[in-house]
Chain A
């Protein structure tokens, strides 16, 4: 029989709930305040508001000098805020206070890794593994360390070990997905990242990377919806609006992208992805000075790790070179000293900035380029499909090349003449039956014409030749919608259960 607690027990419980006895004066205030700040800091960290968390936890740790939690969460928040050297200091103190805390060891490894000290990072991860063998976070850290040293195969193998040690470890899927993203294995990336957010639907970093993967695959609607969910989960994390901005740049929505990047920069004025995005917008607008200013602001941030710095420097060098070349070419055209090669180069630069009409104007000023493929392509990109069709048709009639006939089809499709477009793609396939682009576009044209069975047949022929890549992924998604395979769906359910 259960007995009700006696008065002594209740008093003891009440005393426990009260915490430390109230202390008067300065010493008492310090104790109370440090505890309050610790709670505020942990709450801010949990919501991804790292800057606020750092402020509160730093103040708490400065008062409560042997509080493991204050130093540990301060280290985590500093990592989140990319202040890695400071994170190392905080986490070392935390680990002096609790040397056998595997999560703190992994966080220390992460900070060292971000600082480019892979040896110290590995030591921390191995210490964690010594305490808890097969600890997925530590294996994941080791894998990222291999990845940072460009030992990609070892990295992938170790990520797999991390996932194998805990199939519910969403970070492992995300980081491996990130490697695949970088390797251009977008299908594999999407699969892993989808798994990560399936395991943990509230895992915002996983959603962020999945959105990027969708962006790379050209699945913009999914990309935007996914990143919107990440923003909802972590409204104070600048990574997410920065990724949204990058997606919007892909869509050509420069004004919206600018607004997204500005949101990210309000949260972190030196956020590298946001600064790079702003630089890209300014570059496209021809404002090279502003673009370089953004990149310099990003490079001035001493929180950048080596890879980020190298990448931003490469981008900056490219923008600087483009600026210099553009100014030289424009001056030459203005002075009348430009030759045909200069004009073609200038047209190229306009094209790279998406200024198709300016590119066409300059290209047309070169007599040898008139009626050529480059001009036709620019016309197509500028939305002047009728002019493009005229040139492509003339070129295709003169030379029996499958690619030219495909472009005739594309121009026709843009003009809404899908029946004619389908015919053009068929002619391209008569010239070269292996032309996968003709096969894919034929499927698309047939789909738009409502001939789903014919379209599905063409898509399957396309997938026989192309099994990977963004187009293949999109084709599979379309096929899933217009001609689903019931047997496959059933087996997926069984496997999952």
Chain B
């Protein structure tokens, strides 16, 4: 580098160092004067019309001059009296929004807070407004009921009955993620786990595919998606018990592996304990479960299992949670799941919602015979697929 260039650049650096930085806080002057955005929360998913609220603290509240609310670089509202809040329409598209609130003191100083909302990614979405459901029906003795016809089912969306369009017993291929807890606490059960998982693999039809994930505190794909039963058997029987339990990480990984695969998909999860080391949160993975069509079958082994968590995942997705005390009982449970997968019904209906603002749309499926129990996923998020045209204003 030439010497004059160095000289000039150093001068520039000194000039720059003196420049003010808005992120630096003049702590003394701001003592006791602060602002916090109370809604929405950081990393929350928001759509549509949202009330933004902020709390401002000052030794003398009368000295607060105003609060400016900004979305991105644009001031959307200037509030001159408490409560400090405003409404803003964030539209139908899921996006990350930068929301700022700046409080101005009558003395001229200001404080600010910022929250950044999260863009929600959906692994699956309702295609062309058509909602797909896979339904299992059992009688009072918990036996699967087959041979039912379309007219014996009723579908309710947010309490309103919907017309079923397609209906037939489901016998098309399925894609499965076999997720095995191999944390240290499973050490004494591994032989039974291997035997049960092997027996489950044996039930797969030639057109079905499966992948195998094992997890302790780390999550590994032992076998990628394949119809090859030998490869799957080798994978499920090669696992060894070690480490802590990253249950949520494993579930999220299974969702990622199944993402983009068309048709019926299910996760068969075996775990013997509560999550102890996941980096994904329960809320985040439950959100993923609710946003997908993938069915979860959860098997809890032993007494240390988090039953509520496994039930929540299973029931939201139209699956089922099983709890067994001994590993020797696992083969029976796996066989039961295999049977259920062969005895489901496929039905679709056209959604009646017209507001695609990300809200949760509840689904309930019933049978005309009240003695029968019906299981299907419990709803979906009203989010349009990326790139879809918004509904005309008149239709909203």
Contacts and interface: CB of A to CB of B under 8 A. Distances in A.
Interface of A: 20-21, 23-28, 30-31, 34, 62-68, 92-93, 96-99, 119-120, 122-124, 126-127, 129-130, 133-134, 160-161, 163-165, 167, 173, 190-192, 194-195, 197-198, 476-477, 480, 488-489, 491-492, 495-496
Contacts of B284: 96
Nearest to B117: A123
Contacts of B18: 164
A65 B220 contact: yes
Contact of A120 (B10, B21, B95, B246): B95
B78 interface: no
Given A65-B213, A119-B95, A27 B220 contact: yes
B165 interface: no
28 contacts: A23-B242, A24-B238, A25-B238, A26-B222, A27-B238, A30-B220, A65-B249, A67-B218, A98-B279, A119-B72, A119-B96, A120-B96, A122-B72, A123-B95, A123-B97, A126-B116, A129-B114, A130-B116, A164-B16, A164-B17, A191-B12, A194-B1, A195-B6, A195-B10, A198-B6, A480-B4, A488-B4, A496-B6
B9 A191 contact: yes
In the A-B complex, the 3 residue pairs with the smallest Cβ-Cβ separation, listed nearest first, are A123-B96, A25-B238, A65-B253
B223 A26 contact: yes
A496 B238 contact: no
B220 A122 contact: no
Contacts of B42: 130
Contacts of B43: 99
A62 B7 CA distance: 50
B249 A27 contact: no
A6 B111 CA distance: 55
Contacts of A489: 3
B197 to A, nearest CB: 12
Interface string B52-87: 000000000000000000001000000000000000
Given A62-B224, A64-B218, A164-B19, A27 B12 contact: no
The listed residue with most A CB atoms (<10 A of its CB), out of B72, B257, B278, is B72
A211 to B, nearest CB: 12
B221 interface: yes
Contact of A31 (B2, B98, B220): B220
Given A164-B19, A492-B10, 5 more contacts: A23-B238, A194-B5, A477-B2, A492-B4, A492-B7
The listed residue with most A CB atoms (<10 A of its CB), out of B2, B9, B240, B256, is B9
Contacts of B27: none
B249 A194 contact: no
B388 interface: no
A68 B10 CA distance: 39
B9 A192 contact: yes
Contacts of B23: 129, 133-134
Contact of A66 (B2, B22, B96, B250): B250
A98 B249 CA distance: 12
B1 A496 contact: no
Nearest to A167: B13
Contact of B220 (A34, A93, A198): A34
Contacts of A24: 238, 240
B214 interface: yes
A126 B114 contact: yes
Nearest to A31: B220
B129 interface: no
Contacts of A164: 16-19, 21
Interface class of chain B by DSSP = mixed
B314 interface: no
B19 A495 contact: no
B63 to A, nearest CB: 25
Contacts of B98: 122-123, 126
Interface string B244-264: 001001101100110000000
B393 interface: no
A28 B240 contact: yes
A228 B290 CA distance: 54
Nearest to A197: B1
- On chain B, which size bracket covers the interface? 35 or more
Nearest to B5: A194
Nearest to B121: A92
B226 to A, nearest CB: 12
Contact of A25 (B16, B234, B250): B234
B239 interface: yes
A495 B11 contact: yes
A34 B19 CA distance: 47
Contact of B2 (A163, A480, A488): A480
B24 interface: yes
Nearest to B25: A133
B69 to A, nearest CB: 15
B1 A167 contact: no
A155 B143 CA distance: 67
Given A96-B280, A194-B2, A62 B19 contact: no
A205 B214 CA distance: 41
B219 interface: yes
Contacts of A192: 9, 12
A21 B242 contact: yes
A492 B3 contact: yes
A442 B318 CA distance: 88
A68 B279 contact: yes
B8 interface: yes
Contacts of A27: 182, 214, 220, 222, 235, 238-240
Contacts of B96: 119-120, 123-124
Contacts of A160: 16, 19
Nearest to A121: B96
A134 B24 contact: yes
A34 B221 CA distance: 10
A476 to B, nearest CB: 6
Contacts of A119: 72, 95-97
Given A65-B220, A192-B12, A195-B12, A165 B6 contact: no
A173 B6 CA distance: 13
B369 to A, nearest CB: 43
B17 A198 contact: no
Contacts of A96: 252, 279-280, 284
Contact of B279 (A66, A129, A191, A480): A66
B14 interface: yes
B307 interface: no
Nearest to B234: A26
A168 to B, nearest CB: 10
Nearest to A22: B240
A23 B23 CA distance: 50
Nearest to A34: B220
B72 A63 contact: no
B150 interface: no
Contacts of A65: 213, 219-221, 249-250, 253, 256-257
A123 B46 CA distance: 14
A490 B251 CA distance: 65
B343 interface: no
The listed residue with most A CB atoms (<10 A of its CB), out of B4, B43, B213, B237, is B4
B119 interface: yes
Nearest to B223: A26
Contact of B19 (A66, A161, A198): A161
A211 B223 CA distance: 49
Nearest to B42: A130
A62 B280 contact: no
Contacts of A477: 2, 4
B239 A191 contact: no
A129 B24 CA distance: 11
Contacts of B10: 195, 492, 495-496
